Amino acid sequence: MKLIRTEEAEGCVLCHDVTQIIPGVTKDAVFRKGHIVRKEDIPVLLSVGKEHLYVWENQEGMLHENDAAEVLRQVCQGDYMEPSEVKEGKIELTASCDGLLKVDKKKLNRVNAMGQIVIASRHGNFSVKKGDKIAGMRVVPLVIEEEKMNWVTQVCGDKPIFQILPFRKMKAGIVTTGSEVYYGRIQDKFTPVVVNKLEEYGIEVLGNTLCNDDSEMVTGAIQDWLEQGADMVLCTGGMSVDPDDRTPLSIRMSSDEVITYGAPVLPGAMFMLAYSGEVPIMGLPGCVMYSKRTIFDLMLPRLAAGERLKEEDFTVLGEGGLCLSCPQCTFPNCGFGKA
């Protein structure tokens, strides 16, 4: 940096904040570090006593913080995101649609491990709404080596660190199991809960089929929804290991691949996911009916965005997989489902 007369500073970049103090009114920076001095700024700078300024001196091989922030934006921004204007070497990304946020943790950690570079985001694999802030990024110094930013570009490659998968327009069929419900001995309170959760993601409910505990009846009901074009089928009840709980067998009989029966999440340990072709078939344990948040809330947004889940998507859920059942639920702004 170099020291110059304020009258000669037009077009130069400030290397420090310029503070304005008016007793009883304000004490704040009238211009921030990194500000490019305009002609109309010069009288203001003189009025706050700045007859000389330290400004950035262009050096070969060095990038200004705003230019470096633009490099970070390029490696971070995926589709369905809007960037803010660069300010003091900082850019923020905002969702331009509802969807599922995906974060490439390996790339994110490698870039942050460099030092002098900061990328902070919300957790991936959770839903975001249009207008939600996704991430913020900046370089710490006023100038940074161009070589470092080239390395960032090389490490990140063509695929951005952050992506949003828009929620798909889907249709769901529900299979409600249990002889006590089928014969009208008790009221079905499970299906309305499931319907409400599906509607959170714009999923159309085609209807629900009541079944007793006969596995063949349940299998037939699942097949009926598949034949009617359901994009997902959800089975409620009968998911424990008791001898008379036959729903898991019916799901196995209706699917091509079972991904998991059981997961390290509480509530929701007896959750089941299988696929018939590309259609997910879920077995929802009883906790989904009476617990505020369960494994269903962790998996549904991913399925609603069209992800095909694998076994390892479940085995990693142990850390953070315990819901604390807080008196006032703040999910997803809590630790549930976050490693």
* CATH numbers and ranges of domains, the chain: 2-55 (3.90.105.10), 62-165 (3.90.1170.30), 170-316 (3.40.980.10)
- Pick the closest to residue 72 from 165, 162, 164 (CA basis): 162
Question: Which residues face 236 on adjacent strands?
Answer: 176, 284
Using 50, 70 and 90 to split pLDDT, how confident is the model at 57?
confident
Predicted local confidence at residue 25, as pLDDT? 64
pLDDT digits (tens, 9 = 90+) for 73-100: 999 999 999 999 998 789 999 999 999 9
Between 198-202, 238-242, 291-295, 312-316, the lowest mean confidence (pLDDT) is in 238-242
Q: What is the DSSP letter of 189?
A: -
Residues 35/13, Cβ–Cβ less than 8 Å: yes
Cβ neighbour number for residue 132 with a 10 Å cutoff: 16
Q: Which whole-number Å values give the CA distances from 337 to 19, 123, 176, 259, 332, in the listed order?
A: 44, 10, 27, 19, 9
Q: Hey, what's the torsion of the CAs at 319, 332, 162, 139, to 10 degrees? A: -90
* Model confidence at 163: pLDDT above 90: yes
- Pick the closest to residue 102 from 163, 143, 45, 150 (CA basis): 163
* Model confidence at 233: pLDDT above 90: yes
> pTM for the full model?
0.85
Predicted local confidence at residue 339, as pLDDT? 81
